[in-house]
């Protein structure tokens, strides 16, 4: 006699209390920019023209110079938003908290979208430029030369700038960086930290985003062609505004059970005019 057992009688176990969600990209904008979460729509930062000193023989006379102030303004003009409707049975009849999982994943997607906008704006608005040797960062033999040239772009400025450098790369650049690190004593090349930071090279903190983050797709007022580009610069010379951070709404919908949920965030960005040379648009060759 043979006993047969239906598959439905077996015990089942979930690996987690919440539903598994898609893989998420690292978010790096907050590590390289100042962030303002106040309710201000406009942030102003007027600046003075640089004054010029004179060197002369002892005469006791001087020439009067003129100075002017120029307005520089950040305006919050965009929002990133995602929404979904969850029927009551989708939450009531599951073993995991579907609502919480949906909120978590939607918030992550909004943060990733904001991050992509900020990184691309930073690359587009920087007035420094640099073209890598053929093969870019992905070629190990290029890495020392590239970083030396990038550091020279901000060398000689105040230590507050020179000591807080960053570069944002895509994951496809990392084979060259890691391979070079193996022969140059770079002991943190493969240690991915919580904010996306992957060690540092010549004093430059390295942040890694996924392939396709630097894009030719228009995002708000970001219309530059950034595919094949990367960005280097000094931390904190740009600001992005995120009033109140990421917001959540939950509302009932007539004619349907369950809830409609919306996750959104407002964003504005400014690389301040006196500091644009401290951010370098890198073109991969």
Residue 115 within a domain: yes
- Three state DSSP letters for 18-59: CCCCCCCCCCCHHHHCEEECCCCCEEECCEECCCCCCCCCCC
Residue 188 is predicted with a pLDDT of 47
Could you give the residue ranges of the DSSP H alpha helices within the chain?
29-32, 88-92, 98-125, 143-154, 159-162, 174-184
**Residue carrying structure tokens 């006379």:** 61
Instruction: Give this prediction's pTM.
Output: 0.84
Alpha carbon 171 to its chain centroid, in Å, reads 14
Residue 218 lies in a domain: yes
Distance CA(20)–CA(105), nearest Å, equals: 10
The verdict on residue 73 lying in a domain is yes
User: Does 60 map to a domain?
Assistant: no
Give residue for tokens 């303002």: 36
Domain for residue 235, yes or no?
A: yes
Q: Which residue has the tokens 């070079």?
A: 180
Coil/strand/helix, residue 94? coil
**CATH number of the domain where residue 35 is located:** 3.90.1690
Q: Domain range holding 92?
A: 29-49+67-283
Domain presence at residue 19: no
The predicted structure's pLDDT at residue 101: 84
pLDDT at 21: 66
> Smallest Cα–Cα separation from 179: which of 233, 135, 212, 231?
135
Q: Provide the 3-class DSSP secondary structure of residue 238.
A: strand
Into how many domains does the chain fold?
Answer: 1
Domain membership of residue 1 (yes or no) is: no
Report the chain (285 residues): mean pLDDT per 10 consecutive residues.
73 64 83 93 90 88 86 94 91 80 89 94 96 96 96 85 88 89 58 54 91 93 93 95 91 90 94 94 97
225 found inside a domain = yes
Sheet holding 165-170, edge to edge: 128-131, 279-283, 229-234, 165-170, 204-209, 197-201
């Amino acid at each position: 006699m043979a006993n047969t057992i239906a598959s439905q009688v077996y015990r089942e176990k979930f690996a987690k209390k919440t539903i598994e969600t898609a893989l998420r990209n690292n978010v790096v904008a907050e590590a390289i920019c100042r962030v303002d979460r106040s309710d201000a729509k406009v942030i102003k930062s007027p600046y003075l023209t640089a004054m010029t000193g004179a060197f002369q023989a002892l005469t006791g006379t001087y020439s009067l110079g003129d100075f002017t102030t120029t307005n520089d303004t950040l305006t919050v003009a965009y929002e990133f938003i995602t929404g979904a409707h969850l029927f009551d049975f989708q939450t009531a009849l599951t073993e995991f908290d579907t609502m919480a999982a949906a909120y978590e994943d939607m918030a992550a997607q909004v943060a990733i979208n904001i991050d992509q906008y900020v990184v691309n704006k930073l690359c587009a608005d920087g007035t420094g430029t640099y073209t890598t040797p053929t093969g870019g960062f992905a070629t190990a033999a290029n890495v020392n030369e590239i970083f030396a040239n990038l550091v020279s772009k901000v060398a000689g400025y105040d230590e507050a700038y020179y000591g807080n450098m960053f570069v944002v790369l895509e994951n496809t650049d990392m084979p060259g960086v890691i391979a070079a690190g193996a022969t140059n004593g770079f002991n943190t090349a493969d240690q991915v930290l919580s904010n996306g930071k992957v060690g540092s090279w010549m004093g430059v903190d390295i942040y890694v985003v996924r392939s396709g983050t630097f894009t030719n797709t228009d995002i708000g007022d970001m219309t530059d062609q950034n595919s094949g580009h990367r960005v280097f610069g000094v931390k904190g010379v740009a600001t992005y505004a995120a009033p109140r951070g990421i917001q959540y709404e939950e509302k009932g919908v007539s004619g349907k059970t369950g809830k409609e949920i919306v996750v959104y965030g407002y964003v504005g960005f400014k690389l301040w005019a006196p500091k644009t040379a401290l951010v370098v648009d890198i073109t991969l060759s």
